[in-house]
Amino acid sequence: MAEKGKGGDGPITIKKYANRRLYNTATSSYVTLDHLCQMVKDDVDFAVYDAKTGEDITRSVLTQIIVEEEAKGDNLLPIGFLRQLIGFYGDSVQKFMLPQYLDYMMQSFEKNQSEMQRYMHETFGSVFPFGKVEDMGKQNMAMFEQAMKMFSGAGEAPAAEKASPKEAQVDEKGEQLAELQRKLEDLERQIGSLSDRKGD
């Protein structure tokens, strides 16, 4: 969890002006996207507001940071993932479930990465555990791929069903949501099983 802002009384407020300049109210100084990127890496919580309207624009600024980092050559987002993610926009079922699920997956991924780093630190000086690191990396990627495939299939209906009346489509959406929830619970159990095996 990100650390709170100055004094621990909540996120640091960043104001964005019409000239695109960003102002850190905690330090009374102008900052850049690189500064905000470092704050994220340092686990410092902040929120960005439009200086004129007061609108919370934190999401768009964080997205802009990702775009900037990708442009520098630090490509963390595979093209296939980006295509799938774009395809999810506009689907009510996936819009409801996907953000929460991706947040859960990232937390799980971060936990696995921390465990891997701890393992490497504890075994420093001995034979480097290539197999252990490779296995954990494969598990992390497998979880992400399984999640994306699950959501890709969740919004698709057979051709005959697509031609059904509106009432049937509403029922189908309800069934899909229930199936999606079951798959989510199954995957959570699988992740828990993986974590238990690594702890043995």
Rounded to an integer, the average pLDDT of 150-163 is 50
The more confidently predicted of residues 182 and 5 is 182
Query: How many Cβ atoms are within 10 Å of 64's Cβ, its own excluded?
Result: 15
Distance CA 190, CA 100 (A): 18
User: How does pLDDT run across 101-155, given as a tens digit for each residue?
Assistant: 888 877 877 777 767 666 666 665 454 444 555 555 556 566 666 666 665 554 4
| Beta-strand runs (E) in 3-45 | 12-16, 22-24, 29-31
- Nearest residue to 18 (alpha-carbon basis) of 50, 62, 43: 50
CA-only gyration radius of the chain, Å:
21
Contact in structure between 38 and 69 (CB atoms under 8 Å): no
How do beta strands 22-24 and 29-31 pair?
Answer: antiparallel
Q: Which residue has the tokens 């999640």?
A: 147
* Cross-strand bridge partners of residue 24: 14, 29
Please give the model's pTM, rounded to 2 decimal places: 0.54
**Number of alpha helices (DSSP H) and beta strands (DSSP E) in the chain:** 7, 4
User: How does pLDDT run across 51-64, given as a tens digit for each residue?
Assistant: 999 999 999 999 99
| Beta-strand runs (E) in the chain | 12-16, 22-24, 29-31, 46-50
Distance CA 100, CA 187 (A): 14
Angle CA(173)–CA(176)–CA(180) in degrees, nearest 5? 140
The dihedral sign for the CA sequence 27, 32, 34, 40 = positive
- Residue 34 structure tokens: 């690189």
Rounded to an integer, the average pLDDT of 84-98 is 77
The more confidently predicted of residues 75 and 176 is 75
pLDDT of residue 44: 95
Burial class of residue 7 (count of CB atoms within 10 Å of its CB; 0-12, 13-18, 19+): exposed
